[in-house]
């Protein structure tokens, strides 16, 4: 469904759905417009005033897999909660190749998993509902959430469904398809990192699924926590080193209670993933996209605790010397 934009003599509409576009910090979809109006003063002198506004682009659309029969489409739409008219797009093998270039997909690939995307008000975050959990066999809700966040989507509800058992890659490609069809621009570098992230998290979950104390939810929570903390440090002007990144990853895993379950290789994989995010300036992008106040508070509390320990140590040392 294509939307035609009316041309106004003194109006300019720009759709931004990308980090790295203009400021490099706009994460999702915004519509920035500038209009020039004429108003009369008390002395009947006409003055021109320019008003600028920024308004979020609203999306409520569906991307259906290209392999669905009509019966399967009807089932999928029902599971996605579609009632009445909603823009519908089709996710194809070509889309999978475009958005997931290293996935081994071909133009003839049959896509079944589908997705509904609904933008939410700023600050809502990303929520994911897999409406047919038995038919999405690999990608979890938390993994969809992390991948969408890394790709630059900040405030949206994603509902995923499939009429047949499938891994769920088509649904994620469908999210990107919806964004582009709605007039936005997907940052391919961020999508590439998001796909790498999903692959690493899925692999770690598969390797640890039989271990006591491990959960995919905890891993993804740790991943999100680490990303926010590294973004908060970036916002404060810190130049992240490999040691900084590894320590942040390990602290996040510890806070979620799964560090002792992880192998050193798995921690290394997560650290490498975060290093790639740093190299692609994704943490800089996050500064303008995420509410980092809580992450900063956590960092400050940790620093405060360290300082209190240092003061306590020297105070105790002085007491032992003076005998007081």
Q: Look up residue 215 and give its DSSP letter.
A: -
The alpha-helical segments, DSSP class H, found in the chain are 70-79, 93-99, 141-151, 169-181, 188-208, 216-235, 242-255, 264-279, 282-287, 293-322
| Per-position pLDDT tens, the chain of length 324 | 434 333 333 232 222 333 222 223 333 333 433 333 433 444 443 333 323 233 456 899 999 999 999 999 999 999 999 987 889 999 999 999 988 887 788 999 999 999 999 999 888 889 999 999 999 998 999 889 888 888 888 889 999 999 999 999 899 899 999 998 988 888 888 888 888 888 899 899 999 988 999 999 999 999 989 998 998 888 888 889 999 999 999 999 999 999 999 999 999 999 999 999 999 888 887 776 655 555 445 445 544 444 444 444 444 444 444 444
pTM of the model: 0.65
Q: In whole angstroms, what is the distance from residue 133 CA to residue 161 CA?
A: 8
Parse the chain into domains and list their residue ranges: 12-38+50-56, 209-324
The answer to whether residues 120 and 157 touch, using CB atoms and an 8 Å cutoff, is: yes
Copy the structure tokens of residue 203.
Answer: 């692999």
């Amino acid at each position: 469904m294509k939307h035609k934009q009316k041309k106004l003599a003194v109006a300019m509409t720009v759709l931004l759905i990308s980090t790295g576009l203009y400021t490099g910090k706009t994460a999702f979809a915004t519509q920035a417009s500038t209009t020039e109006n004429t108003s009369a003063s008390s002395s009947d002198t006409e003055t021109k005033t320019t008003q600028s506004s920024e308004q979020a682009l609203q999306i409520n659309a569906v991307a259906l897999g290209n392999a669905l029969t009509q019966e399967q489409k009807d089932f999928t739409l029902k599971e996605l909660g579609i009632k009445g008219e909603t823009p519908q797009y089709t996710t194809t093998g070509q889309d999978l190749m475009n958005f997931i270039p290293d996935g081994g997909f071909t133009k003839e690939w049959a896509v079944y998993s589908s997705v509904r995307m609904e933008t939410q008000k700023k600050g809502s975050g990303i929520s994911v509902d897999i409406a047919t959990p038995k038919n999405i066999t690999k990608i979890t809700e938390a993994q969809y959430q992390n991948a969408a966040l890394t790709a630059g989507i900040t405030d949206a509800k994603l509902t995923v469904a499939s009429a047949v058992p499938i891994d769920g890659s088509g649904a994620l490609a469908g999210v990107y398809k919806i964004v582009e069809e709605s007039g936005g621009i997907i940052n391919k570098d961020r999508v590439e990192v998001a796909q790498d992230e999903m692959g690493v998290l899925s692999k770690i979950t598969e390797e640890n699924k039989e271990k006591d104390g491990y959960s995919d939810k905890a891993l993804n929570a740790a991943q999100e926590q680490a990303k926010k903390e590294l973004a908060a440090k970036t916002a404060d002007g810190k130049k992240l080193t490999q040691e900084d990144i590894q320590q942040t990853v390990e602290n996040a895993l510890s806070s979620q209670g799964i560090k002792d379950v992880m192998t050193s290789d798995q921690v290394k994989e997560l650290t490498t993933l975060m290093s790639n995010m740093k190299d692609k300036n994704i943490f800089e992008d996050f500064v303008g996209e995420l509410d980092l106040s809580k992450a900063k508070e956590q960092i400050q509390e940790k620093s405060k605790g360290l300082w209190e320990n240092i003061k306590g140590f020297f105070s105790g040392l002085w007491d032992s010397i003076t005998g007081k």
